[in-house]
Amino acid sequence: MSDISDKKENNYSEDSIENTRRKKMDEFEKNFDKSVMERDYDYANFEPSSSNEGSKTSYSTDSTPLRKKKRTNEINSFSDSDTKKRIERDSKKALKQQKKEDKKIEKSKAKRNKKLFKWVWLSMILFVAIILASVIMVGVNDMLAIGRDKNPTKVKISIPENPTISQIATILAENGVINRADYFAVYANITSDESDFRKGEFEIETDKDYEAIINFLQSNNNRSDIVTVQLTEGMNVLEIANKLHEEGVITDVQKFLDICNSDKLDEDFPFIKDIDNASDRYYKLEGYLFPDTYNFYLAEDPEEAVYKMLSNFDNKVNHTKERYFGNSKKTLLIDEINDTDYSLDEIVTIASIIQAEAANKEDMYTISSILHNRLSYGADAGVSKLDCDSTVFYPYRKKSDVPDSIKDSFTSSYDTYSFSGLPAGPICNPSLEALKAAVSPYDTEYLYFCHASAEDGGTPYYATNMSDHLYNLQISGND
């Protein structure tokens, strides 16, 4: 009987435990919170304990606090295997769903931020574009002279020697020719070179666009500081240099003289390049600075001044047809020279002596005949030298012109009393008439000449022999 009672009691206890477990499980499932299940707890130490009171089973936990574990751990110690798997499955599904929601939120935020960034960026671009457009329009208007053509005036500006584009832009802006020096400087640097701009005075209108301004300032023809200078026949290089300096055409006499003794312009003028004894001359370009009336500019480049005179000589000799002595038709002077026994340089040298010695046009052709006679047969007639006073002190006009430091010891290498034949080069710059006389002398037998003083009219006297020449010296007042 006791055995049966014990067995029933045991069965009851087992049934009670199972019922209690199921009730607990049902309550657990009802009260299950997914948000709690996202956290990992350690149920390993959650163990049931038996109590004799009321034959009920109670549960107690260890004093150790719950610890986070991996989700692969068991959920609790009293769940059956199916329940535990279902709980784990629901937990994983909840986590996955939460991650999806988080991704959606992040994606939405990124999309909003991208739109915001795009609008900010576009706004900045638009702002910069507006600023640039306004800046460009200001420059374009000034470049095209828009707005400056309403009340155009003419102003006078002065461009210095070797100007920079920045200096030119500042000068133009200060005088109201342009509105923006910075825009002009950029434009000029792109389209031009500093070396192309001319120094000097210019009168320029204020309604010109940038390109017109640049072209205007790069041409000497537009300069207003023009000086008219007459270079008379027979002036030598030194006298021309001093004259140009006095008139303000050149600022450096020595620079002018250096150019007259250089080969800088040889390639432009072949007749200069043909000179083969430049080292024997005082000034290589003597004789080729054609005397005439010129328009120069104040403070002009000496090389440009020399170029003008050489160009004039070239035009007169090589490109202008004239009717010369003994010819019925017009020909070029160079063709007439080529028909003689002399080179161009020798003709220029003869013409320079004629220019320095002759009293008038008619006298030129007679003196030319005397020089030609002496050069041709003078030695056979007892006259071996040209004996021309005009050559004695060259490159100076007379002894008083020789610097004091060398006056007592000076001897000219061009002195035709000391050397036979023609001097090394011309002694002055002859006129066209003197060149014609050198090419076409009168036909005479004269070997000597002299002149009365200028006060007495400068009358010329000619002779074929020394005896007659001595008489002429006496009657002319030269004895």
DSSP string, 189-257: HHH--GGGPPPEEEEEETT--HHHHHHHHT-GGGBS-EEEEE--TT--HHHHHHHHHHTTS-S-HHHHH
pLDDT higher than 60, residue 47: no
202 or 457, which is more confident: 202
Say if residue 28's pLDDT is above 90.
Answer: no
- The pLDDT score that the predictor gives to residue 416 is 97
What does the pLDDT read at residue 369? Answer: 98
Q: What's the rounded mean pLDDT across residues 188-204?
A: 89
CATH topology of domain 154-222: Dna Ligase; domain 1 (3.30.1490)
Quickly state the pLDDT bin for 132 (edges 50, 70, 90): low
Tokens of 179: 């509105």
What is the per-residue pLDDT for 91? 79
Nearest to 360 by CA among 248, 440, 451, 421: 451
The pLDDT > 90 percentage for the chain reads: 57
Task: Identify the band that residue 72 occupies on the pLDDT scale cut at 50, 70 and 90.
Answer: very low
- What is the rounded average pLDDT of the residues 215-231? 91
Q: How open is the CA angle 466-470-474, to the nearest 5 degrees?
A: 165
* Residue with more model confidence, 298 or 428: 428
* Confidence category of residue 386, pLDDT binned at 50, 70, 90: very high
User: Which ranges constitute the DSSP H helices of 31-80?
Assistant: 34-37
Residue 79: predicted pLDDT = 52
Query: 135-139, 256-260, 295-299: which has the highest mean pLDDT?
Result: 256-260
Which helix (DSSP H) or strand (DSSP E) does residue 295 occupy? strand 293-297
pLDDT per residue as tens digits for the range 407-449: 999 999 999 999 999 999 999 999 999 999 999 999 999 999 9
Q: In this predicted structure, what is the pLDDT of residue 291?
A: 98
pLDDT score for 84: 73
Domain boundaries, the chain: 2-93, 154-222, 228-446
- Once rounded to an integer, what is the mean pLDDT over residues 291-298? 95
At 139, the pLDDT band (50, 70, 90 cuts) reads low
pLDDT by residue (tens digit) across 366-375? Answer: 999 999 999 9
- Average pLDDT value for residue range 183-209: 89
Helix (H, G, I), strand (E, B) or coil at 154: strand
Residues 6+ apart with CB under 8 A from 384: 378, 420
pLDDT at 67 over 90: no
